[in-house]
Structure 1
Amino acid sequence: MFGIIKRTRGAMVVLGLIALTACSATYRNHGYVPLEEDLQQLVVGVDTRATVDDMIGAPSTAGMLDQGDYYYVRSRVREFGMYRPEVVERQVLAISFAEDDTIANIERFGLEDGHIVPLSRRVTDSSVIDNGFLRQILSNIGNIDPSQMFN
């Protein structure tokens, strides 16, 4: 009798440990931001784009133009059980360049700063917002000139 109770208690402990480890948070890291020690080697107004590429590497995201600014982005996402993944840390390092291709500014932003940096924005404004098909047809009735139809 005591053997069955001991085995049951042991099985319950093992199942409890499995349940605890299954509900632990997991973290995913995405992206790359150079270390502060590496950034200390860069001199604003002296170093160029080529120097930045050699010292800390080219970023995965750059400005929209060929000679745009550099953006290094790193995110850490926490996944916990059945809950939606949550971004717990985000760093954006922005290196802007002057017209002579030297470093103009080095800035670091995080989630706590509240700055929104759109890295990719693919939005096209449409002239038919809030206009349904029938509204578009009916609004053009007065704009038709019969003389243009028959020359």
Structure 2
Amino acid sequence: MSNFNFSLAAPRARLIALGVLVAVAATGCSQLKGRQGYVVDPLLTSAITPGVDNRESVEKTLGRPTFVGQFSDNEYYYVSRETRQLAFAKPRPIDQQVLRVRFDTAGNVAAVDRTGLELVSRISPEGDKTPTLGRERSFFEDIFGNIGAVGAPGAGAPTGQ
């Protein structure tokens, strides 16, 4: 017979199993943070002043913009977004800042606008089908629906005049 003491081994095994379970649960519920776009420095962005700065000084202070206006190159946009993701879920935005710098025709700063997360649109798709107008047709109507329609009277075929 062995001298192995079961009274000490059982609590130790339970403690190890509990530790492994806690470690697995903690790694499975981890949150991932992400940052996209421009890294905002509040001191630098507040230094841009309308009437004082121009296009060159803005680029030297803030760097190249995230993108330039679509209809005119008189607007610079600096976009920054922070996201959080729980395990394998889709990332959700938790903070967003858009800095828009507008220039006049001479290239001087005319205005500086800031917006945040309040302008982010939340789109909720409606199932896996897009609702459309028109008739509902069955599978067989789609396949055999046009048989006999070509050349039928009243279906746009030329009549024998």
TM over 0.5: yes
TM-score class, shorter-chain normalisation, is 0.5 to 0.7
Any stretches of 5+ residues in structure 1 without a counterpart?
117-128, 135-140, 142-151
Q: CA RMSD in A?
A: 2.6
Which residue pairs with 1:120 in the alignment? none
Q: Distance in 2 between matches of 1:102 and 1:34?
A: 22
Any stretches of 5+ residues in structure 2 without a counterpart?
1-5, 122-131, 135-145, 147-155, 157-161
Which residue pairs with 2:54 in the alignment? 48
Which residue pairs with 1:9 in the alignment? 15
Which residue pairs with 1:96 in the alignment? 102
Residue 38 (structure 2) pairs with residue 32 (structure 1) = yes
Q: Distance in 1 between matches of 2:109 and 2:18?
A: 62
Which residue pairs with 2:115 in the alignment? 109
Residue 90 (structure 2) pairs with residue 84 (structure 1) = yes
Question: Counterpart of 2:14 in 1: which secondary structure?
Answer: helix
Residue 81 (structure 2) pairs with residue 64 (structure 1) = no
Which residue pairs with 1:145 in the alignment? none
Answer 1 or 2: which has greater helix percent.
Answer: 1
Q: Aligned-pair distance for 1:38?
A: 1.0
Equivalent AA in structure 2 for residue 89 of structure 1:
D
Structure 1 pair 88–40 and aligned structure 2 pair: CA distance change class (3 A): closer
What is the percent sequence identity of the aligned residues? 28
Equivalent AA in structure 1 for residue 97 of structure 2:
Q
Structure 1 pair 23–68 and aligned structure 2 pair: CA distance change class (3 A): same
Q: Distance in 2 between matches of 1:71 and 1:50?
A: 15
Per-residue CA distance 1:79-113 (angstroms, 9 max, x = gap): 1024322111111111111111110111110013x
Aligned residues: 121
List 4+ stretches of structure 1 deviating above 4 A.
none
> Is the radius of gyration larger for structure 1 or structure 2?
2
Structure 1 pair 115–9 and aligned structure 2 pair: CA distance change class (3 A): closer
TM-score (norm 1): 0.68
Q: Aligned-pair distance for 1:66?
A: 6.0
Moved more, 88-97 or 37-46: 37-46
Equivalent AA in structure 2 for residue 78 of structure 1:
R
Q: Distance in 2 between matches of 1:53 and 1:82?
A: 38
